Amino acid sequence: MHQPPGFKDPQYPDFVCRLHKAIYGLKQSPRQLFAKLTTHLQSWGFRHSDADPSLLVYNHNSHLIYFLIYVDDILVTSNNPNLIADLLLHLQHQFQLHNLGTLSYFLGIQAVSTPTGYHLHQTKYALDILNRAGMANCNPVLTPLHAKLSLEKTFLSVFENPEFFRHLVGSLQYLTITRPDIAFVVNKLCQFMHCPMYQHFLALKHLLRYIKGTVDLGLPISGHSSVLHAYVDSDWAGDPSDRKSTTGYCLFLGDTLLSWCVKKQQTVAKSSTEAEYRALSIEATDIIWICRLLADFQFNVDTPTSLYCDNVSAIALAHNPVFHASTKHIEVNYHFIRDCIKSATITILHINSQDQIDDIFTKALPRIRFAGL
């Protein structure tokens, strides 16, 4: 390898560096590859997406190309197939590329074409996890977590193999990319990775048995509707150890689930209204980001996004611009939802608790309720 500037020896200007480790294995290699690749794309007329820097967009004379980069794995699509061929020919002068054809497998995610769109799933990855756990032949169950199972740390025996627990739970985190139904349980188990107890391992085994019976589940993608709507919920003081609440939200484009999140709130909420109010503000930021990302795909959201919440008091608090005793202790950033309502970016609507599909992200549900969602 040629020596970098400042390291050349004047007496031996033609000397080179002897590598003891491949450049590809260095920590900075993905960043350097990304910088070099995007520089070539920008010279061809691409620009970075404002919402996602790993997405580059080419838009010229109604011709569109979308170029998504994850280290050395790339997705390319266009409304003109001839443009993709020209682009790949241009890049092959600088990079060694392999055209794998139509999308079928990307970053462990399998994509199956359907009459209405695509079906994304991680069946192979899920089976690999079950094999590593030694539960490839286990008996399946109907829910990811028993509704009455307590995961408190008190009076529990320490699990004797914490590394094995961390390995499995860490692997399951990636499975949640196409499995929102297990997001809540994985989030709960991740909170005990530093010191797992035997009861936590039993909950992990229960989750793996659920995955065994639903190994083919995934995300359907269709274009039946273009209406953007979201649901938000919060389980007030749901953690018995620190009494913090759990925020859960999901965002749909028609029937297609675009994004979802399960996250414990950073501070203790004094009431269910406060917990739901904080959840509303968190979901508002995600809605704005999705709208910006959709704009890169020539999809402009002209009407306010409907955000459904089952807490009437939180909805009233979001519409009330006056600070009073019940809100003056809440951090200023959570009042962001009021600006979104005022600017008509979001409109908050009430939904009955029985129709709140976001319950799947905030609590362990009984079998009948879980099956209904």
Q: Which of 274, 175, 157, 255 is nearest to 217 (CA)?
A: 175
For the record, the structure tokens of 313 come out as: 């008091």
Residues 229 and 340 in one domain: yes
Domain end, chosen from 88, 118, 148, is at 118
pLDDT of residue 128: 96
pLDDT of residue 294: 92
Q: Compute the average pLDDT of residues 253-264.
A: 93
CB 246 within 8 A of CB 238: yes
Q: Which of 135, 134, 111 is nearest to 123 (CA)?
A: 111
Residues 240 and 335 in one domain: yes
Q: How many domains does the chain have?
A: 3
Residues 353 and 250 in one domain: yes
Residue 110 CB neighbour total at 10 angstroms: 17
Asked if residue 371 belongs to a domain, the reply is: no
Residues 207 and 230 in one domain: no
239: CATH: 3.30.420.10
pLDDT digits (tens, 9 = 90+) for 327-358: 777 877 788 898 999 989 999 999 998 888 88
**The CA-based dihedral angle spanning residues 297, 343, 305, 218, taken in that order and rounded to the nearest 10 degrees:** 60
pLDDT of residue 13: 85
CA atoms within 13 A on the CB side of 27: 0
Q: Compute the average pLDDT of residues 294-321.
A: 90
Distance CA(131)–CA(137), nearest Å, equals 9
Asked if residue 8 belongs to a domain, the reply is: no
CA 242 to chain centre: 26
pLDDT of residue 245: 93
Sign of CA dihedral 108, 33, 44, 48: positive
Strand partners, 197: 158
Spell out the residues 6+ positions from residue 280 whose beta carbon is closer than 8 angstroms to its own: 232, 307, 309, 314, 318, 337, 348
Position with higher pLDDT, 124 vs 94: 124
Three-state secondary structure string covering the chain: CECCCCCCECCECCCECCCCCCHHHCCCHHHHHHHHHHHHHHHCCCEECCCCCCEEEEEECCEEEEEEEECCEEEEEECCHHHHHHHHHHHCCCCCCCCCCCCCEECCEEEEEECCEEEEECHHHHHHHHHHHCCCCCCCCCCCCCCCCCCCCCCCCECCCHHHHHHHHHHHHHHCCCCHHHHHHHHHHHCCCCCCEHHHHHHHHHHHHHHHHCCCCEEEEECCCCCEEEEEEEECCCCCCCCCCEEEEEEEECCEEEEEEEEECCCCCCCHHHHHHHHHHHHHHHHHHHHHHHHHCCCCCCCCEEEEECCHHHHHHHHCCCCCCCCCCCCHHHHHHHHHHHCCCEEEEECCHHHCHHHHHCCCCCHHHHHHC
Candidate from 73-77, 155-159, 185-189, 193-197 with smallest mean pLDDT: 155-159
Asked if residue 52 belongs to a domain, the reply is: yes
Residues 59 and 181 in one domain: no
pLDDT of residue 301: 86
Asked if residue 179 has pLDDT above 90, the reply is yes
Asked if residue 155 has pLDDT above 60, the reply is no
Q: Give residue 86's domain range.
A: 33-118
Residues 287 and 244 in one domain: yes
pLDDT digits (tens, 9 = 90+) for 115-129: 888 999 999 999 999
pLDDT band at residue 312 using 50, 70 and 90 as cut-offs: very high
pLDDT digits (tens, 9 = 90+) for 22-80: 766 677 888 888 898 999 899 888 999 999 999 999 998 889 999 999 988 899 999 88
CB 127 within 8 A of CB 93: no
pLDDT of residue 358: 87
Asked if residue 28 belongs to a domain, the reply is: no
Residues 159 and 229 in one domain: no
Asked if residue 27 belongs to a domain, the reply is: no
Residues 176 and 235 in one domain: no
365-369: Cβ within 8 A, 24+ apart = 365/143, 365/147, 366/143, 366/147, 367/142, 367/143, 367/147
Residues 101 and 189 in one domain: no
First to last CA, the chain: 58
Spell out the residues 6+ positions from residue 273 whose beta carbon is closer than 8 angstroms to its own: 311, 313, 314, 317, 326
CB 362 within 8 A of CB 234: yes
Residues 354 and 246 in one domain: yes
pLDDT of residue 211: 96
Burial of 371 (0-12, 13-18, 19+ CB in 10 A): exposed
- % of the chain residues with pLDDT over 70: 95
